[in-house]
C-alpha cells in the first residue's frame, strides 16, 4: 500500500510505493524482439488491465485503436483507497489515494513524436482532455499531473511511446508556491506570470522558436536543460481542456514542428514532457488562489531534452549548470542550423 508522506526538511511530498520495485527495466534489445512481447502494442490488449478510455471505432480491449488509456500496472496511488490523513508527532502522511494511468500514445511501437504527425499528436492531446474532464468530477482529487518519459535516461521503463497521468489529493509544494507567487504577481501587475513571460518574450524576440495560431514555443530565459522548450498559449487558458478544437489542432501542429526541430539538432535523444495545469479541484490548501484562477493562471508545456546527466550540484541545490544558452538554442532550432 502506498503512502503520501510530507518531508519537513525539503517542504515537499514524497510518495512511498514499495510495489513499484517490481517494475520492468528497459531491456537493451532490438525493436522487433521487443514488439513481440510489448504489452502496449496493438494485438496485445489482453496483456494490460482493461482500458479506461480509447479513441477507437470498435469494441473495447480489442485492436483497432489510435490511443488507449489503462491503469498503471505498477500504480503509485490507487483510486479505490480511502482518503485518510494521519500524524505521528511531527510526521505527516496521507493514504495512497489517487489515480495513476498510462496513456498509450499510438499503436506504433517505435514512433517518435514527429512520426505521430499532427493528427496523432492531436489525438494524444484529446485523450488527455477526456481523462482530465472525467477525473475532475471526483472532488477528492486536487492536482493532476501529465508527463511523458521517453528513453531510459528520462526514466522510461517501456520502449513503446506512452505518457502518464497522476491525480492526487494534495498539491505538490512547488506548485502550491507557484500558485501563491502567481496570485501575488497578478494582483500587482494585472497579468499572471506565464502570461507576462510570453508578452516579454514576444517583445524581446530573442528566444522565440515558432508560433502557430494561439500558441508560441520559446527557449525559456533561464533554461534548466540544454535545448529546453516551453509551449504556451498567448491568451489566458488555465487548462488544456479550455482549448477549442481549432486551438487544439494548432497546438498539435506546433508540438510536431518543435519536435521536428529538436530531432534535426539532437538526433536520437531522451526527453521528458510535463504539462503544468491549474488545480483540478479546490481544497483548503489552494482555495485562497482559486477565485481569480481563470484570469491569472495560464497552462504551459515543458519539453526537457535529457542530453546531459544531472550531477550532485544540481541535485543538491536545485540550480542547473546549462552549457547551451537559450538564445543559441532558439537560433539553432528556429533556423535549422547545425
Residue ranges per structural domain of the chain: 3-335
> For residues 151 and 161, what is the distance between their CA atoms, to the nearest angstrom?
9
User: Homologous superfamily of 3-335 in CATH?
Assistant: HIT-like (3.30.428.10)
Q: pLDDT per residue over 270-328, tens digit each?
A: 999 999 999 999 999 999 999 999 999 999 999 999 998 888 988 898 888 888 999 99
Give the residue-averaged pLDDT of 208-228: 95
Q: What are the angstrom distances between the C-alpha of 282 and each of 1, 144, 212, 256?
A: 26, 12, 32, 33
pLDDT score of 32 more than 70: no
Q: Are strands 162-168 and 229-233 parallel, antiparallel or unpaired?
A: unpaired
pLDDT score of 31 more than 50: no
Query: What's phi and psi for 33, nearest 5 deg?
Result: -65, -40
Per-chain mean pLDDT for the chain: 92
Cα distance from N-terminal residue to C-terminal residue, the chain: 49
Name the more confident of 336 and 300.
Answer: 300
pLDDT score of 248 more than 50: yes
Strand order from edge to edge, sheet including 12-16: 12-16, 3-7, 91-95, 85-88
pLDDT bucket at 9, cuts 50 / 70 / 90: low
pLDDT bucket at 34, cuts 50 / 70 / 90: low
Which range has the worst mean pLDDT, 29-38, 99-108, 192-201, 240-249? 29-38
pLDDT at 14: 77
pTM equals: 0.92
Which range has the worst mean pLDDT, 76-90, 161-175, 187-201? 76-90
**Sign of the dihedral defined by the CA atoms of residues 315, 318, 322, 326, in that order:** positive
pLDDT at 35: 73
Closest listed residue to residue 210, CA positions, set 328, 333, 299, 303? 333
Amino acid at each position: 500500500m502506498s503512502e503520501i508522506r510530507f518531508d519537513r526538511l525539503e517542504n515537499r511530498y514524497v510518495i512511498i510505493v514499495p510495489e513499484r520495485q517490481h517494475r520492468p527495466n528497459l531491456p537493451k534489445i532490438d525493436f522487433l524482439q521487443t514488439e513481440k512481447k510489448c504489452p502496449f502494442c496493438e494485438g496485445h490488449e489482453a496483456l494490460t488491465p482493461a482500458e479506461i478510455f480509447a479513441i477507437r471505432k470498435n469494441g473495447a480491449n480489442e485492436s483497432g485503436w489510435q490511443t488507449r488509456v489503462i491503469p498503471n500496472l505498477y500504480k503509485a496511488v490507487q483510486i479505490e483507497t480511502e482518503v485518510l490523513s494521519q500524524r505521528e508527532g511531527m510526521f505527516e502522511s496521507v493514504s495512497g489515494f489517487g489515480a495513476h494511468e498510462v496513456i498509450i500514445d499510438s499503436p506504433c511501437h517505435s514512433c517518435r513524436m514527429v512520426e505521430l504527425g499532427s493528427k496523432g499528436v492531436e489525438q494524444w492531446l484529446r485523450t488527455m482532455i477526456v481523462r482530465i474532464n472525467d477525473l475532475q468530477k471526483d472532488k477528492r482529487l486536487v492536482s493532476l499531473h501529465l508527463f511523458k518519459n521517453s528513453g531510459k535516461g528520462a526514466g522510461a521503463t517501456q520502449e513503446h511511446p506512452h505518457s502518464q497521468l497522476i491525480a492526487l489529493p494534495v498539491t505538490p509544494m512547488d506548485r502550491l508556491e507557484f500558485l501563491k507567487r502567481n496570485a501575488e504577481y497578478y494582483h500587482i501587475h494585472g497579468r499572471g506570470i506565464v502570461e507576462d513571460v510570453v508578452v516579454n518574450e514576444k517583445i524581446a524576440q530573442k528566444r522565440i522558436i515558432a508560433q502557430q495560431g494561439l500558441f508560441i514555443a520559446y527557449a525559456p530565459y533561464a533554461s534548466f536543460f540544454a535545448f529546453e522548450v516551453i509551449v504556451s498559449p498567448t491568451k489566458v487558458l488555465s487548462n488544456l481542456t479550455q482549448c477549442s478544437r481549432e486551438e487544439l489542432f494548432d497546438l498539435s501542429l506546433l508540438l510536431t514542428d518543435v519536435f521536428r526541430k529538436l530531432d534535426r539538432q539532437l538526433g536520437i535523444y531522451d526527453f521528458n514532457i510535463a504539462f503544468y495545469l491549474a488545480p483540478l479541484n479546490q481544497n483548503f490548501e489552494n482555495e485562497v488562489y482559486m477565485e481569480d484562477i481563470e484570469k491569472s493562471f495560464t497552462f504551459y508545456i515543458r519539453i526537457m531534452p535529457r542530453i546531459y546527466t544531472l550531477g550532485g550540484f544540481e541535485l543538491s541545490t536545485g540550480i542547473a549548470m546549462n552549457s547551451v544558452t537559450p538564445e543559441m538554442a532558439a537560433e539553432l532550432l528556429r533556423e535549422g542550423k547545425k
